[in-house]
C-alpha cells in the first residue's frame, strides 16, 4: 500500500492510496487542476474517490471528479448538502448521524465506512465518515475532522489521523486575540486535539502498525514537528506529517 498526501488542512484535503492494481482518492477538497497534477495526470487510473463529509475543504472538486468518470462514494447527507446528482455517485450509510458501519469494495480495496462526530460552523451536527481501507494483509485507518472515535481497531498497518491543535496553544491564541473565542467550542467538538490523538493511538493495538500520518493540522494552533516527535516517541512507530 502506497500513501501520498496531496493536500491537508483547512485549505483543502486530498490523498492518494494505491496497491499493485488499484488507485483510489480520499477527499477532493482542492481545485481539480491541482488534483490532476498531484496524480501525475493519471486521473483515468483512479478507481474511486471517498468523501468523508460535505465541507468544501474535503469535496470542493467533486463535480469535476464525477465529470472525469471517477465514481465518488459519499453519504446521502453530502449529496443533499451539495445538491448534486450524478450516475457515478455511490451512497453508503444512512441519514442517521451515527449510521451503522458499512462495507463496500473499490477495485481490490475493501472499505469499511464508520461514523464520526463533526460540527458545522453554526454548531449543528455534520454527518462525517471515517474509513478502514484494506488491501490484502494491509489495513489503513483514516480519521479526520472529529474530536474522537467510538471504535477500536486491530491488525492495522497504517494510520492517517488528525492532530489538529494543541489546547494550550489555542488558549494562548484566544487570550491574545489571534483566535476568536467563539472558535474554541467548535474546535473542541469538530477536531482532534493532539492529546486525544495520542489517547486514540494508545487505545488501539499498534503491534502491526508500520506508519502513522498526522493530517489536518491547524495553521495557527498546532506545532506539527513537535507533534511528530512526541507521537513517534510515544508509539515507537515512524510518523509522517
In this structure, the number of other CB atoms found within 10 A of the CB of residue 32 comes to: 18
Helix, strand and coil percent figures for the chain, each rounded to 5: 25, 30, 45
Between helix 194-202 and helix 224-235 the angle, nearest 10°, is 20
Which positions of the chain have pLDDT values less than 50?
A: none
State the pLDDT at residue 96: 84
Cβ 179 vs Cβ 170: under 8 Å: yes
| CATH (domain of 97) | 3.60.15.10
State the pLDDT at residue 51: 98
State the pLDDT at residue 89: 98
Enter the C-alpha cell of residue 70. 471517477
Range of the domain at 29: 2-240
Give the count of domains, the chain.
Answer: 1
Which sign, positive or negative, has the C-alpha torsion 101, 60, 77, 219?
Answer: positive
Closest residue by Cα to residue 8 from 27, 32, 31, 36? 27
State the pLDDT at residue 185: 81
CA dist 12 and 202 (Å) reads 28
Amino acid at each position: 500500500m502506497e500513501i501520498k498526501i496531496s493536500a491537508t488542512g483547512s485549505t483543502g484535503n486530498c490523498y492518494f492510496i494505491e496497491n499493485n492494481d488499484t488507485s483510489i482518492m480520499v477527499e477532493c477538497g482542492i481545485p481539480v487542476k491541482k488534483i490532476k497534477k498531484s496524480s501525475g495526470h493519471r486521473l483515468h487510473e483512479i478507481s474511486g474517490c471517498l468523501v468523508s463529509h460535505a465541507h468544501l475543504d474535503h469535496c470542493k472538486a467533486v463535480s469535476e471528479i464525477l465529470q472525469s468518470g471517477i465514481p465518488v462514494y459519499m453519504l446521502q447527507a453530502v449529496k443533499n448538502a451539495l445538491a448534486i446528482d450524478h450516475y457515478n455517485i455511490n451512497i453508503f450509510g444512512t441519514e442517521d448521524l451515527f449510521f451503522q458501519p458499512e462495507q463496500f469494495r473499490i477495485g481490490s480495496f475493501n472499505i469499511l465506512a464508520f461514523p464520526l462526530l463533526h460540527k458545522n460552523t453554526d454548531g449543528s451536527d455534520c454527518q462525517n465518515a471515517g474509513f478502514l481501507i484494506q488491501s490484502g494483509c494491509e489495513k489503513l485507518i483514516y480519521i479526520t475532522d472529529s474530536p474522537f472515535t467510538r471504535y477500536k481497531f486491530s491488525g492495522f498497518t497504517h494510520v492517517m489521523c488528525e492532530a489538529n491543535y494543541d489546547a494550550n496553544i489555542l488558549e494562548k491564541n484566544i487570550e491574545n486575540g489571534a483566535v476568536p473565542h467563539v472558535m474554541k467550542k467548535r474546535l473542541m467538538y469538530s477536531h482532534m486535539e493532539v492529546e486525544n490523538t495520542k489517547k486514540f493511538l494508545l487505545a488501539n493495538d499498534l503491534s502491526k502498525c508500520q506508519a502513522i500520518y498526522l493530517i489536518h493540522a491547524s495553521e495557527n494552533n498546532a506545532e506539527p514537528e513537535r507533534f511528530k516527535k512526541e507521537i513517534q516517541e510515544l508509539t515507537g512507530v515512524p510518523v509522517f506529517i
